[in-house]
């Protein structure tokens, strides 16, 4: 139902809207937007609420009761000069308007009480023209799709390709959950280089799944939260900081904050690193790849701590893994064809390597500061099927990929009298595990496993 006459009635004390229109459909559980002339469903300051009761239609006007708890925006005062729309595709974010990123609340549920998910449609031009700030505290999923919610399609939120750079979106509240979204471009010339996405919230969390951060003026995503946690799952960051400034693919900083990166790729970033972990922060990297970055693939700053499990550094301009005074544990990782050391902790840093492989790093496997390296795997060739084009699956070639198959750390320490047999696994070394011949290959919910746009 679309009520566009401009004389719809609203009673704020009872949350009842009376339309002029008699046509269309109105169903309990849908959302109704009430606004005034000159506004629209996606205009800041409009009011949306879930429909809890309805009568009318056909020969009668619609009388619609709205929820007092499941709503967005502020309810208007009682009046008789309103327009309304039920459901529909409400475009945003767009231009300088952050709708609906700042408006949707945890309480904006459907009739069954399910948590809200905002679907951003692939192919729609979510074009940002000025810096947006998202401050709302939202346990809401913002997710891209092509035709059906959750179908794996990815929406694009883009800035301009020319003009003065600006931070595309700054998140200051939290929690946040974004999935299947490409964040790309934030201007090109004039002023100071700017990060693409910025996180600055306190004592909260954020989750990004299958998101891309690309072609930003400085870092693709820059994190500086306080006592918070941020997770990146199957995300990529590439071709950022084309001017060669101080940006990185993933800039993981802040105060006493922790990070999880699972199956992420950082590549072709022209700043100093692919991934950088700031002073005093901690991170777990699982099956992550750093490829072709100007500088180290992975870098830890002083007093930071990180574990790496099944990660790979490939063809980065300097070191594969660098530790500048912090502490890192690497298990089942590969560092090959980098312009510096494969593994390079500076003096005073602590690095533990367990069953890690290396090949053809210009300065050698490791610097002299490295003191704890067990189960080292020395390769005689590149271990991948074709890493140059993004295929980091292990080859079957003897002395290279074959040496990494089933040779990772897979044992458990078990001495309890309740457990009579020790469990032993045979994981591969590196980010991509070989298919088990004893069963069918199970794809991830969204295929492919790594975001695809980097190597198209």
Q: Provide mean pLDDT across the span 51-70.
A: 92
Instruction: Give the residue from 293, 396, 301 showing the smallest Cα distance to 348.
Output: 301
Instruction: Give the residue from 263, 272, 283 showing the smallest Cα distance to 208.
Output: 263
In the structure, what pLDDT confidence band is assigned to residue 456 with cuts at 50, 70 and 90?
very low
Which residue has better confidence, 235 or 367?
235
Phi, psi of 309, rounded to the nearest 5 degrees: -125, 115
In the structure, what pLDDT confidence band is assigned to residue 43 with cuts at 50, 70 and 90?
low
In the structure, what pLDDT confidence band is assigned to residue 435 with cuts at 50, 70 and 90?
confident
Res 453: pLDDT: 29
Instruction: Give the residue from 139, 30, 144, 47 showing the smallest Cα distance to 93.
Output: 144
Percent of the chain with pLDDT over 90: 64
Res 42: pLDDT: 62
In the structure, what pLDDT confidence band is assigned to residue 187 with cuts at 50, 70 and 90?
very high
- Strands 391-394 and 384-386 turn out to be antiparallel
* 83 and 8 Cβ atoms separated by less than 8 Å: yes
- Window from 58-67, 107-116, 123-132, 188-197 with minimum mean pLDDT: 107-116
Residue 454 has pLDDT above 50, yes or no: no
Helix (H) or strand (E) holding 20: none
In the structure, what pLDDT confidence band is assigned to residue 436 with cuts at 50, 70 and 90?
low
- Window from 134-143, 204-213, 334-343, 392-401 with minimum mean pLDDT: 134-143
Res 413: pLDDT: 82
Tens of pLDDT, residues 287-324: 999 999 999 999 999 889 999 999 999 999 999 999 99
- Three-state SS string over 247-282 comes to CEEEEECCECCEEEEECCEEECCCCCEEEEECCCCE
In the structure, what pLDDT confidence band is assigned to residue 330 with cuts at 50, 70 and 90?
very high
- Window from 41-50, 349-358, 382-391 with minimum mean pLDDT: 41-50
Instruction: Give the residue from 328, 333, 320 showing the smallest Cα distance to 408.
Output: 333
Tens of pLDDT, residues 253-281: 999 999 999 999 999 999 889 999 999 99
Res 186: pLDDT: 95
In the predicted model, what is the mean pLDDT of the chain?
89
**Predicted TM-score of the model (pTM):** 0.88
Side-chain-facing half-sphere of 49: CA atoms under 13 Å: 21
């Amino acid at each position: 139902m679309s009520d566009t006459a401009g004389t719809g009635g609203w009673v704020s004390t009872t949350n009842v809207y009376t339309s002029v229109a008699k046509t269309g459909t109105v169903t309990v559980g849908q959302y109704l937007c009430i606004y005034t002339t000159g506004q629209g469903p996606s205009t800041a300051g409009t009011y949306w609420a879930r429909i809890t009761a309805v009568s009318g239609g056909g020969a009668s006007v619609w009388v619609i009761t709205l929820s007092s708890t499941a709503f967005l925006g502020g309810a208007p005062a009682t009046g008789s000069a309103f327009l309304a729309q039920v459901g529909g595709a409400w475009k945003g974010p767009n231009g300088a308007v952050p709708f609906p990123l700042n408006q949707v609340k945890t309480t904006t549920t459907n009739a069954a009480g399910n948590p809200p998910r905002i679907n951003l449609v692939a192919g729609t031009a979510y074009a940002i023209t000025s810096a947006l700030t998202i401050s709302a505290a939202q346990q809401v999923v913002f997710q891209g799709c092509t035709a059906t919610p959750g179908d794996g399609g990815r929406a694009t939120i883009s800035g301009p390709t020319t003009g003065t750079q600006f931070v595309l979106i700054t998140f200051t509240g939290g929690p946040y959950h974004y999935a299947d979204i490409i964040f790309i471009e934030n201007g090109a010339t004039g002023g100071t280089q700017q990060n693409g996405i910025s996180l600055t919230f306190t004592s909260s969390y954020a989750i990004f799944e299958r998101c891309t951060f690309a072609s930003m003026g400085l870092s693709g995503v820059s994190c500086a939260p306080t006592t918070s946690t941020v997770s990146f799952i199957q995300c990529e960051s590439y071709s950022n900081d084309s001017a060669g400034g101080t940006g990185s693919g993933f800039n993981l900083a802040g105060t006493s904050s922790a990070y999880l990166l699972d199956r992420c790729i950082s590549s072709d970033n022209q700043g100093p690193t692919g991934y950088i972990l700031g002073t005093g922060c901690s991170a777990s990297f699982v099956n992550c790849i750093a490829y072709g970055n100007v500088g180290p693939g992975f870098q830890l700053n002083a007093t930071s701590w990180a574990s790496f499990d099944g990660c790979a550094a490939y063809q980065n301009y300097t070191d594969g893994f660098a530790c500048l005074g912090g502490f890192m544990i690497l298990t089942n990782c590969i560092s090959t064809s980098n312009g510096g050391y494969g593994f390079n902790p500076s003096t005073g840093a602590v690095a533990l390597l367990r069953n890690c492989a290396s090949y053809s790093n210009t300065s050698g496997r490791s610097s002299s500061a490295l003191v704890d390296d067990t189960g080292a795997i020395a390769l005689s060739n590149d271990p991948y099927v074709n890493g140059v084009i993004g295929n980091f699956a292990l080859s079957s070639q003897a002395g290279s990929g074959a040496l990494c198959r089933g040779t990772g750390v897979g044992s458990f320490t078990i001495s309890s009298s309740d457990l009579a047999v020790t469990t032993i696994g045979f994981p591969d070394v590196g980010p991509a595990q070989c298919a088990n011949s004893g069963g069918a290959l199970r794809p991830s919910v969204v295929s492919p496993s790594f975001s695809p746009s980097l190597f198209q």
